[in-house]
Amino acid sequence: MDLNALADFALVASNGGLGKASRASGKSKATLSRRIADLEEQLGVRLIERGARGLKLTEAGEMLMARTEGPMHEVAEAMTATREGLSAPRGRLRIASPVLFSQLAMGRICAEFCAAYPEVTVDLVAEDRMVDLVEEQFDVAIRINPSADSSLVGRCFAKDRLVVVAAPSVPIPSPGAVTPVPGIVFSNFQPANWTLDDGRLVLQPVPRLRLSSFLMIRDAAVAGAGAALMPQSIAWSQLTRGELVQWGTVTDVEVALWVLHTSRRLPSPKVRAFVEFICNQYPEASLVLKG
């Protein structure tokens, strides 16, 4: 089947007539009419009725349009993506990213990306909800431990560990039985022990502070309010400066950050460039945030 003829049939059908299709595409009405006639001859059915009031799709024409409209869009997008693949990254890049990671890292990353690709502008939305990339027109999304989704593809660019930290003034419990400790926890904290280093140390956090963000929890830990469970990267600077002490690591729990984009079409140059760029920010896949 001639794809050009099929595309011209879809063009005429979507525009409601030869004249409008001709003006929209720049193709002559004679060319469009001939292509549709050739397609009808190949299929052996009438697709369009030509009457005094214009053109009307037959039942066969409506069926063909319904079944090919989506795939034809996919073909057009694939051809556009192929052409773009030969060009430099340009245009607006719309990113969805978790709030905390955005606050800690994405300002610097986006600034350096725009410096490297001056024809790209970045629009980043910091939200913790699960955005729909297609419906909300996002090019990429950064997600933590994403679930399997056949409509999205991407790469894990960094990993983190959950650790328990506290100020040096807070006594470190001795290994042994379950040990109660003053805890700084999330507002929605449910009672659960913190098991560290394959059971070497098991802590029972007794909430003293309930806070709604890791940044507040970290700052409260630095102030000596108690022990806190958090991703190591968030407390990395304070651990390096000695403001916090790491008591241990939660075993068999990994925090992975992924950069994802839709698999519905080939990634554009700007998407490919951003995926490579953010992965190169963490060459060892360790989420130790740069200052």
User: How many residues does the structure list for the chain?
Assistant: 291
Token pair 């992924």: residue = 258
CATH numeric code, 91-152+264-280: 3.40.190.10
The DSSP line for 84-95 is HTTS---EEEEE
The 10s digit of each residue's pLDDT in 192-248 is: 999 999 889 999 999 999 999 999 999 999 999 999 999 999 999 999 999 999 999
Q: How confident is the model at residue 81 (pLDDT cuts 50, 70, 90)?
A: low
Percent of the chain with pLDDT over 70: 87
- 8 A C-beta contact, residue 263 and residue 153: yes
CATH topology of domain 3-84: Arc Repressor Mutant, subunit A (1.10.10)
The 10s digit of each residue's pLDDT in 264-290 is: 556 788 999 999 999 999 988 776 654
The 10s digit of each residue's pLDDT in 157-166 is: 999 999 999 9
Q: How far apart are CA 237 and CA 229, in angstroms?
A: 16
pLDDT, position 52:
58
The 10s digit of each residue's pLDDT in 35-59 is: 888 888 888 888 888 665 667 888 8
Q: Do the domains at 3-84 and 161-255 have one common CATH topology?
A: no
Q: Is the pLDDT of residue 255 over 70?
A: yes
Q: How far apart are CA 116 and CA 269, in angstroms?
A: 13
Q: How confident is the model at residue 86 (pLDDT cuts 50, 70, 90)?
A: low
Percent of the chain with pLDDT over 90: 51
Q: 42-49, long-range: CB within 8 Å, 24+ apart, which pairs?
A: 42/1, 42/2, 42/5, 47/9, 48/9, 48/12, 48/13
Domain assignments of the chain as residue spans, ordered by start: 3-84, 91-152+264-280, 161-255
Q: Is the pLDDT of residue 82 over 70?
A: no
- Which is more confident, 14 or 87? 14
> Which architecture does CATH list for 161-255?
3-Layer(aba) Sandwich (3.40)
